[in-house]
Each structure stands twice: as structure tokens, then as C-alpha cells.
């Protein structure tokens, strides 16, 4: 069974149950099991700081992902933590309006 943790550190209200349901369906569609998957929603300012720190891009972005395993090889363990997903919902909205 997968464990998905949604953390909202942004000022935007989130439909957490809908997001959780979508992510569970997505993981099931790809037969992914035993994942411990944290998804954090942050402000534009926070994602800009992370983008600058880890990618040396001093600007906000919509989504950052952090792989926990080099080479993409997951250990054969009871629970797999593939990495972290960080989303700036305000940047996602802005990108949707521009495109």
C-alpha cells in the first residue's frame, strides 16, 4: 500500500482529498506499490529559494522533484521513498493562464 503525504505550506486552499485520490489512482494505474510519497505545496517565494539553491535558477518555477536514489535504482525494502515533489500552485495557475 502506498503512503502519500500532502503538506500545504502555501496560502492557497487545497482540495487535499481530490489530490490524494488522483495520486492514488495514478500510482495504481502504473502498478506502483509501497511508495512513501511526500508532496509539498509551497509559495512562489519558497519554490524560488529552492530553485536557486538546487538548480541555480533564481526564479520561481511550478514543480520541483528531488530523486532520493542515484541512478534510479530503488532498494528492495518494505517501503520505498522515491523522493520529494514540491509544487507552487500559484506558479501552476500562472503557467496555465499563459498557455
Give the span between the Cα atoms of 93 and 17, in whole angstroms.
Answer: 19
Q: What is the pTM of this model?
A: 0.85
Q: How many domains does the chain have?
A: 1
Q: Which domain holds residue 14?
A: 3-98
- For residue 20, the domain's CATH number is 3.40.390.30
Give the span between the Cα atoms of 35 and 27, in whole angstroms.
Answer: 9
CA dihedral 22, 89, 35, 77 (to 10 degrees): 170
Predicted pLDDT of residue 81:
82
Mean pLDDT, rounded, for 47-61: 97
Mean pLDDT, rounded, for 4-28: 92
Amino acid at each position: 500500500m502506498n503512503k502519500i503525504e500532502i503538506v500545504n505550506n502555501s496560502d492557497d486552499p487545497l482540495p487535499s482529498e481530490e489530490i490524494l485520490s488522483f495520486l492514488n489512482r495514478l500510482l495504481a494505474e502504473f502498478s506502483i506499490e509501497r511508495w512513501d510519497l511526500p508532496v509539498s505545496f509551497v509559495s512562489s517565494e519558497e519554490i524560488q529559494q529552492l530553485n536557486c539553491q538546487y538548480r541555480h535558477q533564481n526564479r520561481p518555477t511550478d514543480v520541483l522533484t528531488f530523486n532520493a536514489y542515484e541512478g534510479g535504482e530503488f532498494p528492495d525494502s518494505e517501503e520505498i521513498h522515491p523522493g520529494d515533489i514540491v509544487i507552487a500552485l500559484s506558479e501552476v495557475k500562472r503557467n496555465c493562464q499563459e498557455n
